[in-house]
A and B are shown apart, each in its own frame.
Chain A
C-alpha cells in the first residue's frame, strides 16, 4: 500500500492564529483528499486536491504531486476548527484509500 505521513501529530493554537498541516505520501496518486473529523467523530470532506491549489474561505490546500506532498493551510483559526485533520490518498480507480494518522488540532479561545 501507500504510506501516508502527517505532521505535526498534535497542534495547539490560540484563536486567530494561522497553521500549516503537512501530508507526505510514498507513491504517485491520482486522488488526494483532506478531511476534518469533528469531536463527535463525523468526517467531512474539505478538499479534493490531487494537484494544484484550492481555497475555500479560511482554508486552502496545495498539492505538489511530483514531490509527493500536500499542505493544508488554516488561517484565522476558530475554536470550531478543532478536531482531527486527515489526509487520504488513492492510486487506482479509487479502489482503496490510504489514510494518514492525522493531525489533532486544538484551538483555544
Chain B
C-alpha cells in the first residue's frame, strides 16, 4: 500500500565494492529515514533528513553516507563494503496520507545486504 520503494531487495557483494541502496517515495514527505536491522533485532536509526539538502546522522554510527537532492529520493552509499555491513537496511518516510490522517512512518520493503 505505501508508496515507498527500495532497490535492490537483495544484494550479495564482495568486500571492497562500492554500493548504493536506492529509496524513493511518491508521497511528497519531507522527512525520511534509514534504519539498520539485524535479523530479529530492533531497528537502529543511521541517517535522517528533514528535506532537500538536509541530512543528519542517527544514533548508530555508520560508515555509510546519504544525500537528499530531491524530495522523493534518499539514496544510501557504502564506499567500501565489508562483512560487518551485512544487515537489512530499511528506508522510511514520515507524513500524512489522506485527509484527517496523522503523521506516521511508512516503510519500504527493505534491502537485505550480504557482504562476502
Contacts and interface: CB of A to CB of B under 8 A. Distances in A.
Interface of A: 1, 31, 33, 35, 40-45, 48, 84, 86, 88, 94-102, 104
Secondary structure dominating the interface of A: strand
Contact of A94 (B40, B42, B94): B94
A41 B110 CA distance: 7
Contacts of B109: 40-42
Contact of B105 (A1, A33, A40, A98): A33
A45 to B, nearest CB: 5
Interface residues of B, number: 27
Contacts, number: 56
Contacts of B31: 94
A102 to B, nearest CB: 6
A84 B107 CA distance: 15
A31 B103 contact: yes
19 contacts: A33-B104, A33-B105, A41-B109, A42-B110, A43-B90, A45-B104, A45-B105, A45-B106, A48-B103, A86-B43, A95-B48, A96-B45, A96-B58, A97-B45, A99-B35, A100-B42, A102-B40, A102-B41, A102-B42
A41 B88 contact: yes
Contacts of A48: 102-104
B22 to A, nearest CB: 17
Contact of B40 (A43, A84, A95): A84
Interface in B23-40: 31, 33, 35, 40
For the complex of A and B, 9 pairs with smallest distance between CB atoms: A43-B107, A99-B43, A101-B42, A48-B102, A45-B104, A99-B42, A48-B104, A41-B110, A94-B94
